[in-house]
Amino acid sequence: MTFLHPDHLDSYTRDAFSWKTHNENCYLLSCTCAGQEFNLFESDLQSVLAECAGCQNRITVYDLENYPAAIKLQGAESFSPMVSQLERPSRILATFEYGPPEDDVVFDRNDITWCQIHALLADGSKILVFDDETC
Ligand SMILES: [Zn+2]
């Protein structure tokens, strides 16, 4: 299968099959320790990290530095707990959008145009905690 998410999420995603009805580029985060509960952090430069509740491994979920069409502001980056994540830790869904294919351009899975991050609550509902248009 193809993995339509940026390189930096390689080895941290499980195909979120049950959510695929609306978007096929939606992934459930999964740590290399098999943990699936994370605490989210966001930075003053629009980046998002997920810290595994089991082993404290930090996974980059969104970082403008990685996307060809995006421009990231220079300077030191400081992270703080994401306040919109109401339940901590929780399972996390990351969804990526891409622009329409262009005939003369080779597809680049880092060339995302949009990212949405949802937290899954204990009652099974999901809340949108991050929503950013890349370019
Ligand atoms: Zn872990």
Residues 9-55: tens digit of each pLDDT: 988 987 665 555 555 688 899 999 999 999 999 999 999 999 999 99
Domain ranges in the chain are: 7-133
Distance 31 CA to ligand 1 centre (A): 5
Q: How far is the CA of 51 from the centre of ligand 1 (A)?
A: 8
Q: Which whole-number Å values give the CA distances from 105 to 42, 64, 99, 108, 120, in the listed order?
A: 32, 21, 11, 9, 36
Question: Whole-prediction pTM value?
Answer: 0.90
121 CA from centroid of ligand 1 (Å): 19
Cα-to-centroid distance, 78 and ligand 1 (Å): 22
CA of 54 from ligand 1 middle (Å) equals 5
